[in-house]
Chains A and B, each alone.
Chain A
Amino acid sequence: MTALAAKAWDVLETVPDPEIPVLSVVDLGIVRDVVESADGHGVTVTLTPTYSGCPATEVIARDVRTALETAYDAVEVVTQLSPAWTTDWMRDTAKHKLRGFGIAPPEGRTTLPLLDVGSPAACPHCGSRDVEELAGFGSTPCKALWRCVTCREPFDYFKKH
């Protein structure tokens, strides 16, 4: 990140994930590179998708472009597949925001071949550690459905990926 590109990063901080609006695309860790043109009028942003089939991917690319066009004359959005996105790239502050939003954040670092898919540390509602999985897949590709045994509330777990 150059000092000049700071303007672009500031804009990107305001672009929410369409499915989990409490997180920005920067919180999520999908912005891999930001380069301003020499004259400062153009910017190229490199994004890495979260899941192969995530419908939010195209919306995010469009939202990023629209937001940056308020600050730059020319905007290019590039998709980069490798290295693949991992929840390890999420900011620690993003995990606090997720909890506040009622979603348990991913726990621990991702290791291949991903035999250990992880589990939430605690219920995001009452903090109990007595939780159980209801379903391995949830309302979006990145989440699984869990339930708190103590307060009985169901909640989403952002899967380790």
Chain B
Amino acid sequence: MSPTSDRLLRVADGCLVLSHRLSEWMSNGPTMEEDIALGNIALDLLGQARGLLQLVGDEDQLAYFREPQEFCNPLICELPNGDFAFTMLRLLFVSAWLAEVWSTLEGDAAGVAEKAVKENAYHLRHASSWVVRLGDGTEESHDRMLNALDGLWPYRGEIASEQWYARIEPVLTEATLPMPAADAWAQRSSADGWHTEHLGYLLAEMQSLARAHPGATW
């Protein structure tokens, strides 16, 4: 696979896997408005993933018939949702990464990116507002945000850049959350085929229908 396809797959898989995670919130959100918001964001991410997968090969083949170790998504996308604080902080971290990705993709992928960069701006805005609201909220919500920050920070390694730190720092500050050290320990990359155990379970659910009925249409 060419370096370009590798990069596209990394972004496409990140969007696809996070889309699936967010869709798990459907009917479980704290309010109906939030259910709708997470559904919309999941749908945007799914559309973005499809746009990129179509450039790499057969989208169904790539989404439904690859094994976990063949997926290239950053590990942070596959972690279980945890509580709402964890879900929102993860969305902030990934959206801050995608903001940079969408503004640098070239060639055919630029067409997908032109659309995605605007959609992502809405996701980033939504996640930021929740991180601030919960971080600078009650003692309980603040503690949950601190907990989420502890859990997610080691997974920034694959997505963080100077721009990324610059994007999230003002949000954490406004949320009265500490900015952890940039050189703190980080998980190794999924690019060399390592994933957390969570991805296999996610894919088992996502791929089961297509594998039980290959080529099904309706």
Taking Cβ atoms with an 8 Å cutoff, the residues of A that contact B are 49, 51-55, 80-85, 110, 112-115, 117, 134-139, 141, 145, 159, 161
Contacts and interface: CB of A to CB of B under 8 A. Distances in A.
Contacts of A113: 99, 103, 117, 121
Contact of A53 (B45, B111, B117, B129): B45
Interface of B: 33-34, 36-37, 39-41, 43-48, 50-51, 99, 103, 110-112, 114-119, 121-122, 125-126, 129
A114 B121 contact: yes
Nearest to A115: B121
A82 B113 CA distance: 9
Contact of B114 (A55, A83, A145): A83
Secondary structure type dominating chain A contacts:
loop
Nearest to A54: B47
Given A51-B44, A81-B111, A141-B44, A161 B125 contact: no
Given A113-B99, A117-B121, A117-B122, A52 B33 contact: no
A136 B103 CA distance: 23
Contacts of B40: 137-138, 141
9 contacts: A51-B119, A53-B43, A53-B45, A80-B111, A81-B115, A82-B114, A117-B122, A137-B41, A138-B36
Q: Which of A81, A83, A110, A117 has the most CB of B within 10 A?
A: A81
Contacts of A138: 36, 40
B37 A137 contact: yes
A52 B117 contact: no
A36 B56 CA distance: 32
Nearest to A87: B118
Given A52-B51, A141-B43, A85 B115 contact: yes
